[in-house]
């Protein structure tokens, strides 16, 4: 009995050592040829997305094995072998994708097809499959703006806010005048209760695309939360011009008046 317990402890220690060795190898993954400083930065962002995804899959598999430790000893051995094989298979898969991406130039039509497939998976709620598809696109084309935007949206939907912020911050560098990216960063700021940050991002998105009802809506909401009655009113008047049937107009009017009344009471 004592020998059995000792052997189980050694097997668990073996899993920990295996994970440590594999995770140490992750920074060595090379998605692109780092021939310039900009490409090196691209590789850093891409590798970080791969690393975090790999760590998440690894921890899920390890947790699955731990929940079965109370079962027969042979079952434990089988679970450990399957876990180790799965971890190595994931790493080999990413390495193979990198080699493929390095050998050939990405085909625009093929990339577009893959992105559309990822979008359909995302709309259908198949987040893990969508993420895999987008990671594959980025392995072939590390500066693909559409792939970064969709993977950022995916991370917002799955409440992986840090990864979402990282993706959109990098995308902002690739496309600094992209109103959609700025609006997404504003959404993230809202989630983080950063009122000033949300106001700034939505303001920039509105300035780039002034007649977009969605960005006007976001900006009015942010201005009300910030307590900026003048900016909220200006944006609301413009919303009435570009989208007079918007059902939120009356709601915004009431909320703006509430903020105005509170300001008068505090004077």
Domain boundaries, the chain: 1-29+39-104, 105-167, 177-267
9, 59, 61, 81, 173 from 78: Cα distances, Å: 16, 17, 13, 5, 47
Contacts of 198 (CB under 8 A, 6+ apart): 186, 187, 189, 190, 222, 225
Q: What is the mean pLDDT of residues 205-218?
A: 96
Domains 105-167 and 177-267 share a fold: yes
Q: What is the mean pLDDT of residues 52-72?
A: 51
| pLDDT beyond 60 at 15 | yes
Between residues 73 and 137, the one the model is more confident about? 137
Each residue of 28-49: b (16+ CB within 10 Å) or e?
ebebbeeeeeeeeebbebbbbb
Find out whether 161 and 191 touch, Cβ atoms under 8 Å: yes
Q: What pLDDT, on the 0 to 100 scale, is given for residue 73?
A: 44
Q: Give the best-scoring range by mean pLDDT among 38-47, 64-73, 86-95, 247-256.
A: 247-256
Tokens found for residue 123: 């709309």
Q: What is the pLDDT of residues 229-256, one digit of tens each?
A: 999 999 999 999 999 999 999 999 999 9
Q: What pLDDT, on the 0 to 100 scale, is given for residue 263?
A: 81
Q: What pLDDT, on the 0 to 100 scale, is given for residue 236?
A: 96
Contacts of 55 (CB under 8 A, 6+ apart): 23
Tokens found for residue 210: 């002034």
- CATH of region 177-267: 1.25.40.10
Tokens found for residue 242: 């570009």
User: Rounded to an integer, what distance in angstroms lies between the CA atom of residue 108 and that of residue 105?
Assistant: 9
| pLDDT beyond 60 at 26 | no
Q: How confident is the model at residue 108 (pLDDT cuts 50, 70, 90)?
A: confident
Q: What pLDDT, on the 0 to 100 scale, is given for residue 52?
A: 61
CATH code 1.10.357.10 for 105-167: no
Q: What is the mean pLDDT of residues 33-53?
A: 53
Q: What pLDDT, on the 0 to 100 scale, is given for residue 99?
A: 53
Contacts of 48 (CB under 8 A, 6+ apart): 166
| pLDDT beyond 60 at 142 | yes
Q: What is the mean pLDDT of residues 81-98?
A: 49
- Whole-model pTM: value is 0.64
Between residues 206 and 89, the one the model is more confident about? 206
Q: What pLDDT, on the 0 to 100 scale, is given for residue 50?
A: 59
Q: How confident is the model at residue 264 (pLDDT cuts 50, 70, 90)?
A: confident
| pLDDT beyond 80 at 22 | no
User: Rounded to an integer, what distance in angstroms lies between the CA atom of residue 131 and that of residue 150?
Assistant: 9
Q: What is the mean pLDDT of residues 64-93?
A: 48
Tokens found for residue 68: 């079965």
Q: What is the pLDDT of residues 155-204, one digit of tens each?
A: 999 999 999 999 999 999 999 999 999 999 999 999 999 999 999 999 99
- pLDDT, mean over the chain: 77
User: Rounded to an integer, what distance in angstroms lies between the CA atom of residue 46 and that of residue 225?
Assistant: 35
């Amino acid at each position: 009995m004592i020998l059995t317990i000792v052997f189980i402890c050694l097997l668990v220690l073996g899993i920990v050592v295996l994970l440590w060795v594999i995770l140490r190898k992750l920074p060595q993954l090379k998605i692109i040829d780092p021939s310039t400083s900009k490409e090196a930065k691209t590789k850093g962002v891409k590798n970080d997305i791969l690393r975090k995804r790999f760590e998440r899959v690894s921890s899920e598999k390890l947790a699955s094995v731990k929940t079965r430790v109370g079962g027969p000893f042979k079952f434990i051995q089988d679970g450990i072998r399957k876990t180790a094989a799965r971890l190595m298979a994931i790493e080999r898969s990413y390495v193979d994708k990198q080699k493929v991406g390095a050998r050939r130039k990405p085909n625009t039509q093929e990339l577009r097809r893959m992105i559309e497939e990822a979008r359909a998976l995302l709309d259908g709620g198949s987040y893990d499959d969508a993420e895999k598809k987008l990671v594959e696109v980025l392995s072939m084309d590390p500066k693909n703006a559409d792939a970064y935007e969709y993977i950022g949206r995916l991370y917002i939907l799955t409440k992986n806010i840090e990864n979402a912020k990282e993706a959109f911050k990098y995308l902002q560098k690739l496309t600094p005048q992209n109103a959609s990216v700025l609006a997404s960063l504003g959404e993230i700021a809202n989630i983080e209760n950063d009122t000033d940050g949300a106001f700034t991002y939505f303001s920039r998105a509105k300035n780039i695309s002034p007649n977009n009802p969605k960005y006007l809506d976001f900006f009015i909401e942010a201005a009300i939360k910030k307590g900026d009655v003048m900016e909220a009113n200006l944006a609301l008047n413009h919303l009435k011009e570009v989208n007079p049937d918007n059902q939120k107009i009356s709601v915004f009017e009431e909320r703006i008046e509430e903020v105005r009344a509170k300001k008068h009471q505090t004077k």
